[in-house]
Amino acid sequence: MADKQKIMIVDDDNNIAELVSLYLAKECFDTLIVNDGNGAISAFNTYNPDLILLDIMLPGIDGYEVLREIRKTSQVPVIMLSAKGETFDKVLGLELGADDYINKPFDNKEMVARVKAVLRRFTNNTQSDVVAPATNVEKVSLRDLEINLTDYSVLYCGKLIDMPPKELELLYYLASHPNQVFTREQLLDHIWGYEYIGDTRTVDVHVKRLREKFDDSHGWKIATVWGIGYKFENK
């Protein structure tokens, strides 16, 4: 029998954490509850979870800082939990590397569905690294930029760029369709899939991260088409 996938639940409200743990246990997940930020960082290194449910408001250091620390060494999926519903809070979490965001109070069945969807996407991404070598390499080559979807690598100005899978997939998709305009909904559907329970702000955040990695001096860029979406502009 395969080992159970491990979910670390980080929430200072133990009643909520235990209820979440109960629902996840019914779906055959192994869970660990942590009630503060510092404890979360320590537990992460020993428990080695497959996914983290991370509350923002925590004793000690908050969820944002916990996420910053985790992202220094790991791309483990993280779903942020918070009573805050403002767009700023969602965007900040996504910019720091969160994979999804759930507002409290939330429906536990929806929470389980989101956990499964994020794990499925992450598993599909990582499996691409263990398949047999492909005879046809999926690659886009431009001036000072090479995006290789086969081995999930990006070469920029002769140097390898560390890039999360979804950023790389978005960049590859746009670059492989130069000067073609895509709506946010189209990009969300193609990159994240129809099962993704999120909003189009996710696309905006990933485009922002990509733009921060490159400058506009190479004859290509990710351009905003106001009122519609984005295109990879290649002059």
Spatial separation of the C-alpha atoms in residues 189 and 215, rounded to whole Å: 27
pLDDT (tens digit per residue) in 139-159: 889 889 999 888 888 999 988
pLDDT (tens digit per residue) in 185-212: 888 888 877 555 566 788 888 999 899 9
Spatial separation of the C-alpha atoms in residues 204 and 224, rounded to whole Å: 10
Spatial separation of the C-alpha atoms in residues 128 and 145, rounded to whole Å: 21
Spatial separation of the C-alpha atoms in residues 54 and 127, rounded to whole Å: 25
pLDDT at 166: 83
What does the block give as tokens for 134? 């492909």
Rg for the chain, CA atoms, rounded: 19
Residue 188 CA, distance from chain mean position: 12
Structure confidence at residue 227 as a pLDDT band (50, 70, 90)? confident
Average pLDDT score over residue span 151-177:
88
For helices 108-127 and 14-26, give the axis angle rounded to 10 degrees. 60
What is the DSSP annotation of 108-124? HHHHHHHHHHHHHHHHH
Residue 162 in this model has a pLDDT that exceeds 90? no
pLDDT (tens digit per residue) in 96-143: 888 888 888 888 888 998 898 888 877 765 554 444 444 466 888 988
Residue 91 in this model has a pLDDT that exceeds 60? yes
Domain 6-127 -> CATH class: alpha beta
pLDDT at 132: 41
Spatial separation of the C-alpha atoms in residues 5 and 16, rounded to whole Å: 20
Cβ 200 vs Cβ 188: under 8 Å: yes
What is the DSSP annotation of 170-230? HHHHHHTSTT--EEHHHHIIIII-TT----THHHHHHHHHHHHH--S-SSEEEEEETTTEE
Per-domain residue ranges of the chain: 6-127, 139-234
State the fold for domain 139-234.
Arc Repressor Mutant, subunit A (1.10.10)
Cβ 118 vs Cβ 111: under 8 Å: no
